[in-house]
Structure 1
């Protein structure tokens, strides 16, 4: 049952509106978000939202800030840059798994507050402290974000496929088709391809990237 604006949880506020939008995005996707639907979820009139959030764009900006602010970055600034990188990447992945659909909203909107830019500041500080020049520092941060989002999309797609994935296909027919197409490597590795160790894959990729970083030139 929708909660009223005067429910025990408190009066209508920007924070409650943003949280309702996040819940709606996680359930139905960002395309489903509208001021009307958020108001309905809160059990209030649509016009009452405009006292706190002027429009849908501001609502989505608020969602992006909410997600970024929820990242509890615990990287020790005195730790080696490799350890800082691991901590930051794992934290970003954790929040991405908690809010997979909302994180995609974050990536499509420019942060408009210091709250939204805090994780970027921490990540850039870590790579610059390691001695990478400015352009490389920015590219490294973008590369890690791309890697984390890619692993998230893969994990979510596997989960949503469920029994419709590789495990559910007719193995004999698939092997025959692969042999006919001379896809011998795919045929030989079908059992491995059917496995999904998301945590293991992420850690493997993370260490691969850190190893690549170590080979890049640095100042000092």
Structure 2
């Protein structure tokens, strides 16, 4: 069977496979050439440098997001579908998804999920600033959930307390000691759905406030006259 001609698509696919096996730090033009059994200089006919290759990986992976959007569904259900679509991408390509999140993509593919999400929120009645802020909150949650799953968990919110050198001192940290079994376990899918539902319900409650009603979120964030003196 003849070998498929070298192309940018084939080079990017090899990089994706390598990243998922060994991480982004393993990628180099020489390593990709070895993976494809070609001369390293032949890669430069299709990809100018490593940075362009990694951008190609990010764009390709992000382009695999499949939004099963239903325009007839309630906007809250559409938000759930969109969030879970991105989460599925992170499950299929966990290491490449981290690359997607760390790079600024200068292409239309990077705008597709943003356009879909913002249009959904605007259709739900959110004005421009509210739609953007709400989208960012959901993105922060999804990214945070992904970081926890891949083990990049902040030290103040451990998932695996059993990795400590010894047991938690119950006298100093009674609540942590009591809940240690829960902190060291948990179902990532269940926790994601729980957090997503909290955000959806909060966004729905915010959207339902009466026209002209003060924005409680903005009021809560605004300093009181006493705080300004």
Query: Is TM-score (shorter-chain normalized) higher than 0.5?
Result: yes
CA RMSD of aligned residues (A): 2.1
Residue in structure 1 matched with residue 185 of structure 2 by the alignment: 195
> Unaligned 5+ residue runs, structure 2?
153-159, 212-229
Q: Is the 8 A contact 1:85 1:126 kept in 2?
A: yes
Residue in structure 2 matched with residue 166 of structure 1 by the alignment: 161
Q: Is the 8 A contact 1:25 1:32 kept in 2?
A: yes
Q: CA deviation at 1:49?
A: 0.8
Residue in structure 2 matched with residue 206 of structure 1 by the alignment: 196
Alignment of 1:1-220 (within 5 A): 8=2, 10-157=4-151, 165-167=160-162, 174-175=167-168, 177-179=169-171, 181=172, 183-217=173-207
Measured in 2, the distance between the counterparts of 1:74 and 1:47 equals 41
Q: Is the 8 A contact 1:81 1:126 kept in 2?
A: yes
Number of aligned residue pairs:
203
Measured in 2, the distance between the counterparts of 1:136 and 1:22 equals 36
Measured in 2, the distance between the counterparts of 1:193 and 1:28 equals 28
2:129 is paired with a residue whose SS is helix
Deviates more, 1:199-208 or 1:184-193: 184-193
Q: CA deviation at 1:9?
A: 5.1
* TM-score in terms of structure 2 length: 0.81
Higher helix share: 1
Q: CA deviation at 1:123?
A: 1.2
Q: Is the 8 A contact 2:118 2:135 kept in 1?
A: yes
* TM-score in terms of structure 1 length: 0.84
Measured in 1, the distance between the counterparts of 2:143 and 2:64 equals 17
Measured in 2, the distance between the counterparts of 1:132 and 1:21 equals 40
Q: CA deviation at 1:178?
A: 2.8
